[in-house]
Structure 1
Amino acid sequence: MNILLTSVGRRSYLVDYFLEAVLDTDQIHCCNSEYTTSVARGDGYFLSPLIYSPDYVDSIIRYCKERDITAVLSLFDIDLLVLSKNEQKFKNNGIELILAPYESVYLCNDKWKTFEFLKEVGLKTPRTYLSVGDALQAIESSELEYPLVIKPRWGMASMGLYFADNENELKVLFEKSKKDVFSSYLKYESELTKESSIIIQEKLIGAEYGVDVVNTLDSEYFETLAKQKVTMRAGE
């Protein structure tokens, strides 16, 4: 199996993991919208259009067909929505996306939808609000208290993430987070919910754990890996 890793960025260590894991007869190819040392570490690479370019998906499919690549895996959250939306197009060209279905990707990338889903299935989740007014009303009714977390609804890598200890900070940092969003690559997905692009959440204090659920390519459960987060850098 030859695999294409998309949006590799500067994640050379992830490219190396794949190179070490595959058989000698397999190849790992990379693509990115700009040249980095990571993109050239694989067995082949190309520079792709930007993720939201009209030719982005077609450029990946063309490269895969030229190099006998049968599977595509993204290393970047922003990539997932675009790729999963075109899953059938990849299948029609004999290419498998190692990726969740579009509906699941959308639900996980949209933090408000995630909050609603967790409530619906009965899992505890931080209280979450879409506006400063709603958060202030919750504070007034003693449903919520400072400090509060302010972050992009479609965020990643800790971009636009702030903590507010009072009403003045809440109002200022809410607008600051919005400005951060629409002056970065987060603006593309945030356009889907432009009028409610920032969320406010209660801050939970305690040990933080990450849980990875691993499935087979046939969507069958395989394993769960849990780990305590010791430190975070740019969301990793």
Structure 2
Amino acid sequence: MTAKPEAIIISSAGRRLYLIDWFREAFDALGVEGRVIVAENDPTSSSASYGDVSRSLPKYDDPDYGPELMRLVVEFDPRIFVSANDYELMHVHVNSGLANSLRDRGVLVPGVSAAWQAGCADKLQMAKMLASIEVPTPATVSGADDQGIDELSAQTDEFVVKHRFGSGSSGLRVVSADHVRQAVTEASLSAPSAGGHSGTRDDVAVQPKLPGTEYGVDIIGSLTDSGMLSGVLARRKVRMRAGETDKAVTVDPAPFTRIAERIAEVSDLTGLIDVDVFVDDFGGASVIDINPRFGGGYPFVHLAGADVPLYYLAQVLGVDIGESWNRYELDVVSAKYESIRVTG
């Protein structure tokens, strides 16, 4: 009887076809017959027909999502489930208990604890959680907190206003202190909320604009020993587009190691999370956002030599690949570009 190929599921990959390619290449590098199962709720998305096997899943908030996902697991017996969608991850890790159901079947679900997943989805709560573990982060208040906004106004002239429960820098604006309340009101009109109601000022987060330079940092935890840091990858952001890094240069990750170790430990991290960090002129680092998934900045370190997909597969297959997967060349500048394919 022919052995069943190894498999992983990548859900909601969207435009990130490179992630599918890199997992394919990782199977090849390990000499393992493997398949990348791509699951999408939009059959005409860029990635929907790009997998070795493609399957349609209901949207994460559909009652049939969980049962259909588990049928996919029974059919292919995957080693890993990866999603690139913040809201889907919130559903899997927090709202439905699906992460535990998948793990009970032997499927690795990288990420953070349910408490930290919920915190990463709420920018106000995330700031409180980071402050509680002594990781520097900007003071953050709700858009409905007039007193808090007044107190911040006494300390800064520029503010960042963004959706509290948003994804991909949604609602992001940089405004002066004179216009912060108007910006909050405008952001609330399109703000997603935790309870599904229409957005309010409380669904907007307000922070002082930090001085310095923005970096993207990938923190990678062991897949077999939660909370144990395995690697740190970093790049300096040169240009942003639509809330995602568009051009970046790879840098030494050492300055971010202490923060990475602390976050990995307290969040019970397994696998990769994407962290946005501002560094001031004196070298002080402040975390401004955490995305518990492969982020749009990972490609910049991958092209310079890092290989997290290879690390994922090696860990779940029990193959020793040493430390080469988290080494990369410094000062490599990369930029994204557009491509297009027929999807329907």
Same fold flag (TM > 0.5): yes
The residue aligned with 2:189 is 179
SS at match of 1:88: helix
The residue aligned with 1:93 is 105
- 1:132·1:174 contact (CA, 8 Å) conserved in 2? no
The residue aligned with 2:164 is 153
The residue aligned with 1:202 is 208
The yes-or-no answer on 1:67 pairing with 2:76 is yes
* Distance in 2 separating the partners of 1:136 and 1:207: 24
Q: For residues 1-236 of structure 1, what are the structure 2 equivalents within 5 Å? A: 1-23=6-28, 24-35=32-43, 36-85=45-94, 86=97, 87-130=99-142, 131=144, 133-139=146-152, 142=154, 144-167=155-178, 169-181=179-191, 186-187=192-193, 189=194, 191=196, 196-218=202-224, 219=226, 220-236=228-244
Change (3 A) 1:162 1:26: same
Shift of 1:29: 0.7
* Distance in 1 separating the partners of 2:189 and 2:41: 24
Normalising by structure 1, we get a TM-score of 0.87
Q: CA RMSD in A?
A: 2.2
* Distance in 2 separating the partners of 1:95 and 1:55: 20
Identity %: 26
SS at match of 1:22: helix
- 2:149·2:206 contact (CA, 8 Å) conserved in 1? no
Change (3 A) 1:173 1:190: farther
SS at match of 2:216: strand
Unaligned runs of 5+ in 1: none
More helix by share: 1
SS at match of 1:229: strand
| Superposition misfits of 4+ residues, deviation over 6 angstroms | none
More strand by share: 2
Unaligned runs of 5+ in 2: 1-5, 245-344
SS at match of 1:232: strand
* Distance in 1 separating the partners of 2:188 and 2:164: 10
- 2:152·2:208 contact (CA, 8 Å) conserved in 1? no
Shift of 1:68: 2.6
